[in-house]
Amino acid sequence: MGFEEERRRLVSKLIREGILKSKEVIDAFLKVPREEFVPRHLKRLAYADMPLPIGHGQTISAPHMVAIMTEALAPRKGNKVLEVGTGSGYQAAILAEIVGDEGHVWTIERIPALAEFARENLRRTSYARRVTVIVGDGSKGYPDAMPYDRIIVTAAAPDVPEPLIEQLAPGGRLVIPVGDSFTQRLLILEKRHDGSIIKRWGTYCVFVPLIGEYGFRERDH
């Protein structure tokens, strides 16, 4: 079976399970080649619904977790999106596919070698012009391009970093796994147009820690 057929099967499974729901997210999953975002020797596992190692002790999240987070984020065409935790660049590519040429994705990674891995993957798959990869501590956000319509954090935080709330546009939405460094729960935060904040909890999950000024300290985990 070729990668395209494997991709279609994975998408059908995620739809059957009620995880993939909206047309935008389904179309993006059908389009972005996950095999281009995993290390070469793991390509045959690209469409297994599991996280895979990408080096430096980090992972590309399992497809069902990317699906859950993207559905919760509800990105739209033309949105400005900030991702914290670039990893392989796969989540950024899914977001770039949805926001289209009218939108843009800024994604921050603290490990320079992974930022370079993501840049190459994004270049090869032609998403590079819609995605800016930055090296830095994303727990402080990226004020240079604020405000963002959507912010997604793909590493576990002890709480929602205050700078991310500040950098969210009115009417915007932020999705982040919050908990200790072993298990977390997704938190979906919305900033209303009057500036008030509403929060709701989603599924339990397990992410690698967000390490930085507003995350965990390196020795905490």
What sections of the chain are H helices per DSSP?
3-16, 23-31, 63-73, 90-99, 112-124, 162-166
Please say which residue, 144 or 196, places its beta carbon nearer to ligand SAM: 144
Least distance from ligand SAM to the Cβ atom of residue 9, Å? 20
Least distance from ligand SAM to the Cβ atom of residue 155, Å? 4
142 near 121, Cβ under 8 Å? no
Please say which residue, 187 or 210, places its beta carbon nearer to ligand SAM: 210
Catalytic choice (22, 61, 181, 196): 61
| CB burial string 88-110: b at 16+ within 10 A, e below | bbbbbbbbbbbbeeebbbbbbbb
Amino acid at position 60, single letter: I
Least distance from ligand SAM to the Cβ atom of residue 114, Å? 5
Please say which residue, 27 or 170, places its beta carbon nearer to ligand SAM: 27
**What is the C-alpha to C-alpha distance for residues 122 and 126, in angstroms, rounded to an integer?**
6
145 near 80, Cβ under 8 Å? yes
Please say which residue, 106 or 207, places its beta carbon nearer to ligand SAM: 207
Residues in the site for ligand SAM, rule: CB under 6 A? 58-61, 84-85, 87-88, 90-91, 108-111, 114, 137-139, 154-155, 207-208, 210-212, 215
Least distance from ligand SAM to the Cβ atom of residue 58, Å? 4
Sheet hosting strand 148-153, strand order edge to edge: 131-135, 104-109, 80-84, 148-153, 168-179, 184-191, 197-205
**What is the C-alpha to C-alpha distance for residues 87 and 78, in angstroms, rounded to an integer?**
23
Please say which residue, 172 or 215, places its beta carbon nearer to ligand SAM: 215
- The DSSP call for residue 39 is -
Residue 61 designated active-site: yes
Cα–Cα nearest to 150, from 185, 176, 132, 128: 176
| Residues catalogued as catalytic | 61
